[in-house]
Amino acid sequence: MDSEGEIYGPWQPPSAPRDAARGSGRREPAELKGPQVACSECALFALCLPVGVGEADLALLERVIKRRRLLRRGEVVFRQGERFHSVYAVKSGSLKTYVPVDGAGAQVTGFHLPGELLALDAVGAGCYQYTASALETASLCEVPFDRLEELGMLVPNVQRQMLRVMSGQIRQDLLMQVLHCKKTAEARLAAFLLDLSARFARRGFAAAEFGLSMSRGDIGNYLGLAKETVIRMLRRFEDRGLVSMARKRLRIRDLYGLERLAGMRAGELRLFETARPGATAASAARSPRRRT
Amino acid sequence: MDSEGEIYGPWQPPSAPRDAARGSGRREPAELKGPQVACSECALFALCLPVGVGEADLALLERVIKRRRLLRRGEVVFRQGERFHSVYAVKSGSLKTYVPVDGAGAQVTGFHLPGELLALDAVGAGCYQYTASALETASLCEVPFDRLEELGMLVPNVQRQMLRVMSGQIRQDLLMQVLHCKKTAEARLAAFLLDLSARFARRGFAAAEFGLSMSRGDIGNYLGLAKETVIRMLRRFEDRGLVSMARKRLRIRDLYGLERLAGMRAGELRLFETARPGATAASAARSPRRRT
DNA sequence: CGCACGATTTGATGCGCATCAAGAACGCCT
DNA sequence: AGGCGTTCTTGATGCGCATCAAATCGTGCG
């Protein structure tokens, strides 16, 4: 399916993190530690899934991939404002995306796990809307958008699938808005963990145990909380037996308890590219104290 | 440009607000008071703009419009979860969209002014993602999506334009996230007013004076604030001479002052369908006290 | 191996804004 | 006009969470 783990670093913007030294010794790439998705599990593949799951489609897909890129922690894939040319699929590792914000630091806008698509929303803008950087060693598939468009000519449904993916993004943003406006710190963090869990599960990884590759600060930034609050809430969860944590490793012990805290079921977050005609949302009422 | 103000109410879901009585007397429709956009100013028209602005295109556009719908305050256009069939363009009046939320009320997800498009993001989901209802007497153009798709076949760029509009929505959601995570109540409200102003201006209405058709409660809900806070902030703005208010009418007196409060320039909100290759965002530093 | 710097924790303190509780000012209907 | 429900306003109070400060841990490095 893949082979040849080409180590590209050709277009390397001035961001090299301190640990980007080439021959650092420890653990060479090629065999990547973390979870890694097969092409058939990747969001990119879903772009042409509707036409059938045959070998031919896989071949079509392979043809649009320009190259793979291997990133180390902190390396930047693209920056906000750069001219848009490619979308990316995460093959292994994880990334965060963020936008610089006025005077104070940045706003983390999302985390991206193996099998997920990156930057499709830049299509309509002509330039990337945010900066993407690796949270850990990661590999990506780059897909030049013009090739994807060509593919769209051959396979009419690809266009529709792109709309679908973007629509899924908007749906996700809606949920984030609810989270920010109506939920306490506790509920936000619970929802965040459930979201991660569901996304791992979706690609075939363990839903109950996974690594948090981002820092507490990043989580807090993303959720609109101070990092101290994130820490305190995590501790609270652990004290209540909802999760157990060792360093950056998290294990969910009481899924239902978390769902109760979050005020929503796990599946309700990130409904990505799944049309459910009749579903009208939650029922579970629970919310400590937050607005009317 | 239009004529025949057909008063349709055929598909009227069980929501009739208390003031929906038919022959209530006062002020018949047909002549609408508020701002009203010409077809050439409408977001729908922008869908095929790139092919040229000729008469032929206008004719094409007219062909896809199924009918106009006239709504009274509180009437619902579509509900979350209903099967998606049409997108809508606001011709006059204004709407709000919202999603029901677990135990407590709803989350207002947006307001929609004349010339703006509604529900395009439902394309990828197959069902509407939120409920839309009129804030005041309003008229809409309904466009069945299958007809829009047909148009897409005739005019290839329509597809691209749809991506563009959705991408603009995602960009807007990103800004909302920053607003919620990093800004104080004061900054949020200032940004909200600037956003409204820019949107009115964009369609050719007065940027400095307009009506707030939504209630303070709706504004607060949308921004993640209590309605009391909205009121207090508005008063504060007025006391400082930034705006002046009479009932639901608002006049912006000091645009620059508001921008300083919001911590961003007016144009930075809602950059809708405008690609700006090199723009990297703000510079104005200002934020009273909010996160790191 | 021990140094240094960043990430993680924990506690103390205070501010921003939600919440509660009335009252005032509409808009709407009879 | 007069009544009434809804929205808007204003003040008092308290809680949630940001902020500040400082210790500890982890990790890459010389």
Which one has a higher pLDDT value, B277 or A224? A224
Torsion of CA A160, B89, B109, B152, to 10 degrees: 10
Whether B109 and A162 lie within 8 Å, measured CB to CB: no
Q: What is the DSSP letter of B84?
A: P
User: Among positive and negative, which fits the CA dihedral B207, B212, B218, B220?
Assistant: positive
Over chain A, what is the mean pLDDT? Answer: 75
Provide, as residue numbers in chain A, all residues whose Cβ is less than 8 Å from the Cβ of B169.
170
pLDDT recorded at residue A270: 40
- Secondary structure class of A181 (helix, strand, coil): helix
Are B114 and B91 contacting, i.e. CB atoms less than 8 angstroms apart? Answer: yes
Over chain B, what is the mean pLDDT? Answer: 75
- Count interface pairs A-B at CB distance under 8 A: 204
A234 touches strand C (CB under 7 A): yes
HEC secondary structure over B175-206:
HHHHHHHHCCHHHHHHHHHHHHHHHHHHCCCC
- Secondary structure class of B26 (helix, strand, coil): coil
Distance of CA B67 to the CA centre of its chain: 20
Whether B177 and A105 lie within 8 Å, measured CB to CB: no
Are B143 and B87 contacting, i.e. CB atoms less than 8 angstroms apart? Answer: yes
Structure tokens at B138: 């309003």
In chain B, residues 19 through 78 whose Cβ sits under 7 angstroms from any atom of nucleic acid strand C:
19, 21, 24
pLDDT recorded at residue A242: 94
pLDDT recorded at residue B152: 74
User: Among positive and negative, which fits the CA dihedral A195, A197, A198, A203?
Assistant: positive
pLDDT tens sequence for chain B (292 residues): 333 333 333 333 333 333 333 333 333 333 344 566 666 666 666 665 555 545 556 666 667 776 788 888 889 999 998 999 999 988 889 999 999 887 668 899 999 998 888 998 888 788 999 999 999 999 888 888 888 877 777 776 777 778 888 888 888 899 899 999 989 999 999 999 999 999 888 888 888 999 999 999 999 999 999 999 999 999 999 999 999 998 889 999 999 899 888 875 544 443 323 333 333 333 333 344 455 5
pLDDT digits (tens, 9 = 90+) for A240-257: 999 999 888 999 999 989
Q: How many of the other CB atoms lie within 10 Å of CB of B132?
A: 24
> Which candidate from B121, B162, B277 shows the least CB-CB separation from A127?
B277
List the single best residue of B99, B170, B183 to mutate versus A (max A Cβ within 10 A): B170
pLDDT recorded at residue A146: 85
Distance of CA A17 to the CA centre of its chain: 21
Which one has a higher pLDDT value, A112 or A161? A112
Is residue A70's pLDDT more than 60?
yes
Q: How far is A84 from chain B (nearest CA, A)?
A: 9
Q: Which helix (H) or strand (E) holds B211?
A: strand B209-211
Provide, as residue numbers in chain B, all residues whose Cβ is less than 8 Å from the Cβ of A163.
123-124, 162-163, 166
pLDDT recorded at residue B125: 82
Whether B178 and A99 lie within 8 Å, measured CB to CB: yes
Provide, as residue numbers in chain B, all residues whose Cβ is less than 8 Å from the Cβ of A167.
121-125, 129, 166
Q: Where are the alpha helices (DSSP H) in B51-127?
A: 55-64
Between CA B128 and CA B123 the distance in angstroms is 8
Whether A285 and B102 lie within 8 Å, measured CB to CB: yes
pLDDT recorded at residue B120: 87
Are A68 and A142 contacting, i.e. CB atoms less than 8 angstroms apart? Answer: yes
Provide mean pLDDT across the span A219-228.
95
- Secondary structure class of A147 (helix, strand, coil): helix
Torsion of CA A104, A105, A110, A112, to 10 degrees: 180
pLDDT recorded at residue B134: 93
Least confident range from A72-81, A222-231, B51-60: namely B51-60
Between CA A195 and CA A214 the distance in angstroms is 14
Residue carrying structure tokens 């157990």: A244
Q: HSE of A108 in the Cβ direction (CA atoms, 13 Å)?
A: 24
Residue nearest to nucleotide D7 (CA to C1'): B215
Structure tokens at A7: 């180590």
Is residue A96's pLDDT more than 60?
yes
Between CA B1 and CA B65 the distance in angstroms is 13
In chain B, residues 1 through 40 whose Cβ sits under 7 angstroms from any atom of nucleic acid strand D:
none
> Which candidate from A80, A167, A273 shows the least CB-CB separation from B166?
A167
Provide, as residue numbers in chain A, all residues whose Cβ is less than 8 Å from the Cβ of B159.
159
Structure tokens at B58: 């206008």
pLDDT digits (tens, 9 = 90+) for A27-55: 333 344 456 666 666 666 666 555 554 55
Whether A281 and B81 lie within 8 Å, measured CB to CB: yes
Is residue A154's pLDDT more than 60?
yes
Is residue A22's pLDDT more than 50?
no
Q: What is the CA A30 to C1' D28 distance in angstroms?
A: 22
